[in-house]
Structure 1
Amino acid sequence: GAKHHASAAQVALKWLLDQDGVAAIPKASRAESQQANLDALKVPLDDEDRSAIAALPKDQRLVNPAAFAPDWD
């Protein structure tokens, strides 16, 4: 985020929107959130940024309550 003067959420949203065949549905219940989501479209990700994000581990969850999340993986 600091490299682009954007939040981590904006960088992640921009990365998602740059993917083929992916639709992102960000939460935006407040006007500030809506504007932040729109501002994500202006985040300039270069190939190095995209590669670094794509290389992040995909087998980790930050929230994984046993009673809530089914065994999808």
Structure 2
Amino acid sequence: MQNEIHPYYQDTDVVPFIHDQGIAVQAWYPLGGRGRNDELLSDPVLASIAQTHDASISQVILRWDLQRSVIVIPGSSNPAHIEEDTELYQFALTEEEMAAIAALNRNEKHDWY
């Protein structure tokens, strides 16, 4: 099932429910979407975590999704971004970092469908 999921809209009730049904969840707009990427990709909490891992904020967000068992397929036409988005397995987020990202949840949906 595809659902809007990013650090500002984590859908914390729906994702576990869908997983409990044995259904895979794919993040739609994992990096914010609809003109909202800039705010998310400059978030100071995410920037701090990225710096700790010598990673980009995009990589941290995508890794956060993967550690929550959420499938990510980010879109880009930029070859450098595409390559960067595949380099998610050289680091893992700690429980504390996962909790810090969880605390960013605003229930802020960026698209209405």
> How many pairs does the alignment contain?
64
Q: Which runs of 5+ in 2 are unaligned?
A: 1-49
**By how many angstroms is 1:26 displaced?**
0.6
What code does the residue aligned with 2:60 have?
V
Q: What's 2:81 paired with?
A: 33
Are the aligned partners of 1:10 and 1:39 in contact in 2 as well (CA < 8 Å)? Answer: yes
TM-score (norm 1): 0.69
Amino-acid identity (%) = 30
What code does the residue aligned with 1:26 have?
P
Is it true that 1:3 corresponds to 2:52 in the alignment? yes
Is it true that 1:19 corresponds to 2:68 in the alignment? yes
For the residue of structure 2 that corresponds to 1:23, the secondary structure is: strand
**By how many angstroms is 1:40 displaced?**
2.0
Q: What's 2:27 paired with?
A: none
Are the aligned partners of 1:10 and 1:43 in contact in 2 as well (CA < 8 Å)? Answer: no
More strand by share: 2
**By how many angstroms is 1:50 displaced?**
0.8
For the residue of structure 1 that corresponds to 2:86, the secondary structure is: helix
Residue of structure 1 aligned with 2:107, choices 42, 45, 59: 59
Bigger CA radius of gyration? 1
RMSD: 1.9
- The CA distance in 2 between the partners of 1:42 and 1:58, in whole Å, is 29
Q: Which runs of 5+ in 1 are unaligned?
A: none
**By how many angstroms is 1:47 displaced?**
0.9
What code does the residue aligned with 1:14 have?
R
Q: Give runs of ≥4 in structure 1 deviating > 3 Å.
A: none
